[in-house]
């Protein structure tokens, strides 16, 4: 069966700044969903606040644009309610690694079968460029006029350390390869994190497409084994030469949270027939 590759397009056009890396990520996501032969009604995007979070407005699928840092708990709830859906949580580094950090760590250890795409540009773009948790030490912004004092943290190391079963990094300037990573992450049965190096042309212009293109490389080229957890952790360490590895860092097999829930064994919760369920005894127990 031939599927219409434009089925994830919407008439509304993104309002991102011209040249923003979010365009490349949106393009990659649509390519990945097409490659996975999914239909729009089978896909649900849960997004947080930030420029990145608006992506759920501009992809033809189910979408929920929630509170700052809260895309993950919403996505997990949606997956548990309707586990036949392909659920993708999405947001920025400010959203997910600042406000949403607690949710991120617990999502890593829960291993619900959802995919988390983080548009990582080192700044809070929507609020005009304040430094984010992945921003460079010394980064000058409206909240750090003398330069950021804190060191950036490394999301991939944290994700592996917290128990994530699929950890990868892509680049917004290579949407073909990023699409492959996203599709692979969606296929992975468990929590999959794809941290995406995203260009913010307006508030982090020093890290331009050229800047990234001179530094990114594929971990595969070094013969990296994603089954080797120690090697994956070592690969997340910053390189002395400044090069930035991309690709699949780590993959492991582990039971998903939902596999342990007997209520989901027969059919998704939303398909259960609840007409004959008598909740009176439960209510009496609560009164």
Tell me which residues touch ligand SF4 (CB under 6 A). Answer: 16-17, 20, 22, 51, 121, 125-126, 200-203
CB of 56 to ligand SF4, least distance (A): 15
Give the integer Cα–Cα distance in Å for 107 and 118: 14
> Can you list the positions of beta strands (E) in the chain?
43-47, 62-65, 86-92, 115-120, 123-124, 130-131, 166-171, 192-197, 216-218, 244-251
Q: Which of 198, 144, 252 is nearest to 24 (CA)?
A: 198
CB of 20 to ligand SF4, least distance (A): 3
CB of 253 to ligand SF4, least distance (A): 35
CB of 268 to ligand SF4, least distance (A): 35
Of 38 and 178, which CB lies nearer to ligand SF4 in the complex structure? Answer: 178
Of 17 and 105, which CB lies nearer to ligand SF4 in the complex structure? Answer: 17
H/E stretch holding 211: helix 209-213
Of 138 and 205, which CB lies nearer to ligand SF4 in the complex structure? Answer: 205
Residue 286: CA atoms inside 13 Å, Cβ hemisphere, count? Answer: 5
Of 33 and 51, which CB lies nearer to ligand SF4 in the complex structure? Answer: 51
Of 15 and 263, which CB lies nearer to ligand SF4 in the complex structure? Answer: 15
Of 123 and 219, which CB lies nearer to ligand SF4 in the complex structure? Answer: 123
Give the integer Cα–Cα distance in Å for 192 and 3: 26
Give the integer Cα–Cα distance in Å for 91 and 46: 9
The torsion angles phi and psi of 180, rounded to 5 degrees, stand at -65, -40
CB of 94 to ligand SF4, least distance (A): 10
CB 241 within 8 A of CB 60: no
CB of 41 to ligand SF4, least distance (A): 28
């Amino acid at each position: 069966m031939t599927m219409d590759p434009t089925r994830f397009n919407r008439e509304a056009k993104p309002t991102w700044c011209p040249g923003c890396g979010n365009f490349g990520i949106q393009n990659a996501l649509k390519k990945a969903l097409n490659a996975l032969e999914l239909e729009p009604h089978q896909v649900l995007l849960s997004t947080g606040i930030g420029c990145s979070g608006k992506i759920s407005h501009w992809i033809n699928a189910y979408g929920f644009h929630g509170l700052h840092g809260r895309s993950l708990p919403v996505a997990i709830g949606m997956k548990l309610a309707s586990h036949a859906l392909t659920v993708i949580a999405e947001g920025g580094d400010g959203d997910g690694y600042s406000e949403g950090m607690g949710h991120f760590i617990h999502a890593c250890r829960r291993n619900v079968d959802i995919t988390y795409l983080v548009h990582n540009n080192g700044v809070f773009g929507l609020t005009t460029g304040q430094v984010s948790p992945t921003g460079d030490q010394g980064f000058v912004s409206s909240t750090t006029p003398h330069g950021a004092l804190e060191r950036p943290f490394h999301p991939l190391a944290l994700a592996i350390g917290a128990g994530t079963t699929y950890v990868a990094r892509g680049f917004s300037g290579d949407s073909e390869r990023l699409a492959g990573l996203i599709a692979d992450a969606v296929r992975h049965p468990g929590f999959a994190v794809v941290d995406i190096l995203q260009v913010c042309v307006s508030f982090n212009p020093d890290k331009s497409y050229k800047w990234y293109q001179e530094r990114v490389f594929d971990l595969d080229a070094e013969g990296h084994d994603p089954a080797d957890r120690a090697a994956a952790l070592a690969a997340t360490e910053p390189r002395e030469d400044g090069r930035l590895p991309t690709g699949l860092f780590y993959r492991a097999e582990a039971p998903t949270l939902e596999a342990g829930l007997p209520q989901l064994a027969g059919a998704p919760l939303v398909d259960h027939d609840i007409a004959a369920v008598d909740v009176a005894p439960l209510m009496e127990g609560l009164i």
